[in-house]
Amino acid sequence: MDRIVLDHMEFYGYHGCLSEERQQGQKFFVDLTMQLDLRAAGEQDDLGQTVNYADVFTKIRSVVEGEPCRLIEAVAERIASMVLREYPRVQCVDVTVHKPSAPIPGDFRDVAVAITRERA
């Protein structure tokens, strides 16, 4: 299956279990891979035969910068559900939500969750 990849999208959100996270907010990064058939888009050079990734970016921004969740697992689930609902050409989506400033006592580079969801 062909893929469209949006990598390391940066947003500012208010997700977390701690009140400080929900008040102060922090940066989140999202990686997204959409699996779909891109043959017709490539052969016909037609945006109507693919998914407009600028539109996808805007909708992901509205999820991450929108209503706060306690868990980044929930953020990832909302993104995956939105993509499958809004873009019927997409057959499968991989979503990774990174929270590099998670409140963990100790040194680390990143905390992330990754999910895969397929069209039923």
pLDDT tens by residue, 7-45? 999 999 999 999 999 999 999 999 999 999 999 999 999
Cα torsion at 53, 58, 62, 63 (round to 10°)? 10
- Mean pLDDT, all residues of the chain: 97
From 50, 99, 104, 114, active-site residue: 99
What pLDDT sits at residue 113? Answer: 98
What pLDDT sits at residue 83? Answer: 98
Active site residue 59: no
pLDDT tens by residue, 43-91? 999 999 999 999 999 999 999 999 999 999 999 999 999 999 999 999 9
What pLDDT sits at residue 120? Answer: 86
What pLDDT sits at residue 19? Answer: 95
- Any bridge partners for residue 16, and if so which? none
Q: What percent of the chain has pLDDT over 90?
A: 99
For each of the domains in the chain, give its residue range(s) and CATH number, in order of start: 2-118 (3.30.1130.10)
Give the separation between CA 68 and CA 80, rounded to whole angstroms. 16
Give the separation between CA 31 and CA 99, rounded to whole angstroms. 12
What pLDDT sits at residue 91? Answer: 98
